[in-house]
Amino acid sequence: MPPSALQTFSAFAIPVTLILVSALIKKIVRGRSRFRLEDFCLGLELTLAAFSSAAVNLIEVNPGVRINLAWYLVIALIVLMLQIALHQQWTGTSVTWWESFWLLGLLSNGLGISVLAFFICWKIEGKL
pLDDT in tens, 94-113: 777 777 778 777 888 888 88
Query: For residue 74, what are the domain limits?
Result: 5-125
CB 121 within 8 A of CB 53: no
- Count of domains forming the chain: 1
Task: Write the CA distances from 6 to 44, 99, 105, 115, 124, integer angstroms.
Answer: 26, 35, 27, 19, 11
pTM here?
Answer: 0.70
For residue 3, the tally of other CB atoms under 10 A from its CB is 17
pLDDT at 5: 72
Dihedral (CA of 68, 1, 19, 110) sign: positive
Highest mean pLDDT of the ranges 18-27, 49-58, 113-122: 113-122
Band of residue 78 on the pLDDT scale cut at 50, 70, 90: very high
The pLDDT of residue 92 is above 70: no
Q: What is the pLDDT of residues 28-65, one digit of tens each?
A: 887 888 877 777 777 888 888 888 878 877 777 777 77
pLDDT at 7: 60
